[in-house]
């Protein structure tokens, strides 16, 4: 049974393993770092990987491994906060639109369509250009673009379930609309929302890296994989390890969460169980 499950859910397993490794690195970074992330040892500039510096050093003599580990805190913080922000607003808007319907549904969904018209990075650039560069604005900017995804998924679930017998029974027993929406219907729509969260987490990490690469994301002295990649591009031939490290971490994070989301989706698909 276990071998059969593994064969049918390779995507889920690979994604879970990658994410577990990232979470392990994140957890360790809170308690241990090989070196101070901002300690500059000029005499050790561009030192290749060694027993002292496992991933080498950067142009300021800072330990790349320590900064990669610390940068995982930034990546996960951005992913978690921005997705929670988007989920909170998107689920509420989608619930109201799907349950109430009518003109309110049209109004909410047209607002959602406006947000969907902007690419993630472009919307973030516009938001940051208007409100300034800060960690909070970066989180809000990334979260805004994810709102339509959660709103549409939740709306679809509510439109499907609001005519089911268990909802009609709760309504006939005098349950309030709020109770029906959030205690009866919403729990049944959580599966696609969780899948969207995993996929959105990957997008949020990639968006933060892109903004930081442009100098509009997380600001120094806080390490960010995107800003490390920007700093490393001028030294690709002299210190290739400096470029590879953040690039690989961004790739693995996006790949891991995308595979995890796809794996959960396949696992929840009834056609996969045949």
pLDDT given at position 166 = 82
- Report the C-alpha gap between 271 and 266 in whole angstroms: 9
- Report the C-alpha gap between 149 and 192 in whole angstroms: 10
pLDDT given at position 129 = 81
47: left (phi over 0), alpha (psi -120 to 50) or beta: beta
pLDDT given at position 190 = 86
The DSSP secondary-structure symbol of 36 reads -
pLDDT given at position 150 = 93
Measured CA to CA in angstroms, residue 204 lies from 27, 213, 256 at distances of 20, 14, 13
pLDDT digits (tens, 9 = 90+) for 98-148: 888 888 989 999 888 888 887 777 788 888 888 888 888 888 888 888 899
pLDDT given at position 1 = 46
pLDDT digits (tens, 9 = 90+) for 26-44: 999 999 999 988 888 888 8
With a CB cutoff of 8 Å and minimum separation 6, the contacts of 132 are: none
Comparing CA positions, the residue from 260, 258, 261, 232 lying closest to residue 245 is 232
Domain with 123 in it: 2-273
Classify residue 204 by burial, with Cβ atoms within 10 Å: 0-12, 13-18, 19+: buried
The total of other beta-carbon atoms located within 10 Å of residue 153's CB is 21
Count: domains in the chain: 1
pLDDT given at position 43 = 86
CATH number at residue 169: 1.10.3720.10
pLDDT given at position 180 = 83
Query: Consecutive 10-residue runs of the chain (274 residues): their mean pLDDT?
Result: 62 90 94 90 88 88 92 91 93 90 88 82 80 84 89 90 82 82 85 88 89 81 87 86 90 92 76 52
């Amino acid at each position: 049974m276990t071998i059969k499950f593994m064969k049918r859910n390779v995507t889920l397993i690979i994604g879970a393993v990658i994410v577990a490794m990232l979470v392990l690195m994140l957890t360790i970074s809170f308690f241990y770092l090989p070196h101070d992330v901002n300690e500059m040892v000029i005499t050790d500039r561009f030192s290749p990987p060694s027993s002292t510096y496992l991933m080498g050093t950067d142009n300021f003599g800072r330990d790349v491994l320590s900064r990669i580990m610390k940068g995982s805190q930034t990546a996960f913080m951005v992913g978690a906060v921005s997705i929670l922000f988007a989920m909170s607003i998107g689920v509420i808007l989608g619930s109201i639109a799907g349950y109430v319907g009518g003109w309110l549904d049209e109004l909410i969904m047209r607002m959602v369509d406006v947000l969907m018209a902007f690419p993630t990075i472009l919307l973030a650039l516009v938001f940051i250009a208007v409100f300034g560069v800060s960690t909070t604005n970066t989180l809000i900017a990334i979260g805004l673009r994810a709102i339509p995804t959660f709103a549409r998924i939740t709306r679809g679930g509510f439109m499907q379930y609001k005519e089911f017998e268990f909802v009609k029974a709760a309504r006939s027993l005098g349950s309030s609309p709020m109770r029906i929406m959030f205690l009866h219907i919403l729990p049944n729509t959580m599966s696609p929302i969780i899948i969207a969260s995993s996929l959105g987490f990957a997008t949020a990490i990639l968006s933060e890296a892109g903004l930081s690469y442009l100098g509009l994301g997380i600001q120094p002295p806080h390490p960010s994989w995107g800003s490390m990649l920007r700093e490393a591009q001028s030294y690709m031939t002299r210190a290739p390890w400096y470029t590879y490290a953040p690039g690989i971490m961004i790739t693995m994070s996006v790949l891991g969460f995308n595979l995890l989301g796809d794996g959960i989706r396949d696992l929840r698909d009834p056609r996969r169980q045949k």
